[in-house]
Chains A and B, each alone.
Chain A
């Protein structure tokens, strides 16, 4: 299988604190890859380095065969790399439907000054909203949704940019078990439709059931890589989590 995403020896420090210390990971096309590690192990920083929020001190990022180190976030999005955030980020004062329309790709000035709501895109947005059960709330401001609905909206909205890889940062964080089941089904269905996922998550049952491969990060370095079953019995992983 070909590699969709690859990071090579990424380094990032904030002052005296080293957050990511030579992280080398890869994500195969068509996989659901889990990225786990104790709190502070550099998972979110790694996401931020991959998606252009932070510039790495050293190392490189490759996406779809192209070097994209420190590329701008919006360019990466146009290349097909989308992400959600650990703490849900939406355009709070905009309606649910408008939140869906912002990520729609556009090319050139003509479409930039074209209508904000094109009917064909609006139809696609409504179909996606229907899939996550938010279609009847399309004209509500995003800030008035419940916590779980906001998480679903964030995921649905990034899909509007037609991503080939979606990075999910704790999709199950603070979400009730029923909703976790719903999110897992959604990820599986999208995976069937050809979307690749890299998921940071602390909910181990979810990671073990959903992912076909799991990477473990500790103190900014990859310490394990394998199938969920192999990871669960890996002594280095147990050591990192439990400090044995």
Chain B
């Protein structure tokens, strides 16, 4: 990928700021906020790679987040695998399982797909609750604490998740530029048409499902290490999906930066509401209202709405361009008529 020089400069400056932030804001709360922010950037961007790019909106995608969390926690507790390296490796396993799940799941579409995806999440949760030998059931699993000093306890997580967020957004941006990405967008617009012009729609959808699930799995693995203790109810939680969906839709579904922008709004907003109203769970009601407002007022999200507006402002020239073609077309057709054979028989 080649960046223009200016944007490379901004990218470098931005990265330096993001790397310096934990040292500027020493309060561990900010490290937690930053970690949660990058976590949502990762999960929302991963969700967007599937649901934003293909239009198949999964509401059970945190099944793979939870699967990653459990695989990492189990291997850490049993074999002492360090999650920092095991998460990206075990993520591959999550991706492979997702390919199999997706192969079945993606035969449904529309609302049937949404319902089926929720069912997958519930099945995974049931498995986590009932495979007690492996998962310890409802009480959950603990894993060893990180070896670094408690003083810095959250900083490495901040950096790890920042790195993962950069990689996820990078992959998401890479996909957009490939033939694969073009095929995904074609599927979103008209799947039957895409198949008729040669897009192997099933392969594309299942691959997108797997790639998306990989990042969900890695994020889940690191999250479980960060938590130290995980239990089925909070690990396989549909509210995780709600966060990803709201972040993506608010920012701009199917855009590269939409999920990032959405996460930057959602995470601080969530904390603010939690601060104000304590543990009343009122943030759930607020988020429900927010979701309705987004769907009614900003169905395309901030980025897409902004782009459309800018296009419309520049749109007058394009209308003229269209008119000119019509004239050119007529001219071309008249030329063709003169040189062509006699008029159609009636």
Do A and B pair up? The answer is: yes
Residues of A within 8 A of B (CB): 51-53, 72-74, 77-78, 82-83, 85, 89-94, 98, 101-106, 111-116, 133-134, 136-137, 140, 144-146, 148-149, 157-158, 161, 178-179, 181-182, 184-185, 188, 205-206, 208-209
Q: Is the CB of A133 within 8 A of B344?
A: no
Q: Is the CB of B194 within 8 A of A146?
A: no
Whether B200 sits at the interface, judged by CB under 8 Å, is: yes
Q: Which of B3-11, B185-193, B222-230 contacts its partner?
A: B185-193
Residues of chain B contacted by A89 (CB below 8 angstroms): 190, 192-193, 196
Across the A-B interface, give the 4 residue pairs with the lowest CB-CB distance, nearest first: A205-B344, A77-B198, A103-B197, A91-B189
Q: Main secondary structure on chain B at its contact with chain A?
A: helix
**In whole angstroms, how far apart are the Cα atoms of A182 and B325 in the complex?**
13
> Do A73 and B195 contact each other (CB < 8 Å), given the known contacts A106-B179, A182-B332?
yes
Residues of chain A contacted by B280 (CB below 8 angstroms): none
Minimal Cβ-Cβ distance residue in B for A53: B192
Q: Is the CB of A181 within 8 A of B178?
A: no
Closest chain-B Cβ to A64's Cβ sits at a distance in Å of 16
Q: Is the CB of A140 within 8 A of B332?
A: no
Closest chain-B Cβ to A211's Cβ sits at a distance in Å of 12
Q: Is the CB of A98 within 8 A of B182?
A: yes
Whether B340 sits at the interface, judged by CB under 8 Å, is: yes
Minimal Cβ-Cβ distance residue in B for A93: B189
Residue among A77, A112, A182 making CB contact with B197, cutoff 8 Å? A77
Minimal Cβ-Cβ distance residue in B for A158: B197
Q: Is the CB of A85 within 8 A of B193?
A: yes
Closest chain-B Cβ to A94's Cβ sits at a distance in Å of 6
Closest chain-B Cβ to A3's Cβ sits at a distance in Å of 22
Residues of chain B contacted by A205 (CB below 8 angstroms): 344-346
Q: Is the CB of B195 within 8 A of A72?
A: yes
Whether B321 sits at the interface, judged by CB under 8 Å, is: yes
Residues of chain B contacted by A72 (CB below 8 angstroms): 195, 200
Residues of chain A contacted by B111 (CB below 8 angstroms): none
**In whole angstroms, how far apart are the Cα atoms of A134 and B324 in the complex?**
11
Whether B330 sits at the interface, judged by CB under 8 Å, is: yes
Residues of chain B contacted by A53 (CB below 8 angstroms): 192, 196
Q: Is the CB of A209 within 8 A of B179?
A: no
Closest chain-A Cβ to B336's Cβ sits at a distance in Å of 4
Q: Is the CB of B333 within 8 A of A181?
A: yes
Residue among B181, B192, B321, B337 making CB contact with A181, cutoff 8 Å? B337
Minimal Cβ-Cβ distance residue in A for B346: A205
Whether B296 sits at the interface, judged by CB under 8 Å, is: no
> Do A185 and B321 contact each other (CB < 8 Å), given the known contacts A51-B196, A89-B193, A91-B186?
no
Q: Interface readout for B318-346 with A: 1 if CB under 8 Å, 0 if not?
A: 10011011101110111011001100111
Whether B136 sits at the interface, judged by CB under 8 Å, is: no
Closest chain-A Cβ to B332's Cβ sits at a distance in Å of 6
Residues of chain A contacted by B192 (CB below 8 angstroms): 53, 73, 89
Residue among B182, B200, B344 making CB contact with A101, cutoff 8 Å? B182
Residue among B179, B183, B190 making CB contact with A115, cutoff 8 Å? B179
Most buried by A among B181, B190, B196: B196
Residues of chain A contacted by B183 (CB below 8 angstroms): 102
Q: Is the CB of A111 within 8 A of B198?
A: no
